[in-house]
Amino acid sequence: VWAKGGEGGIALAEEVVRLCVEPNSFDYLYSLDRSIEEEIRAIAQKIYRADNINNLPAALKQLKQLEELGFGNLPICMAKTQY
């Protein structure tokens, strides 16, 4: 995209669309009807091989607020760093 500007962007978009319509076996690691905390736990255990997760009270409060605002059934995007 960078080297060809808009022309490269069109080629990229066409390839993304092509791939999106192909059959695939994508599935989440967890059911989207689980709580945010349960979704985070599933990712931590299945991807990062954690035994469990430990949430501070402030984090649990924020998770509850997110669920009350209607964000509880959305997929989780998680990034892990060593810090």
Q: How far is CA 5 from the centre of its chain?
A: 29
Specify whether the CB–CB gap between 42 and 30 falls below 8 A: yes
In 3D space, the residue among 69, 75, 67, 63 whose CA is nearest the CA of residue 31 turns out to be 75
Is the pLDDT at 5 greater than 80? The verdict is no
At 23-39, the pLDDT tens digits run 989 888 999 899 999 99
- The span from the CA of 44 to the CA of 53, in Å, is 7
At 62-81, the pLDDT tens digits run 999 999 999 998 999 888 77
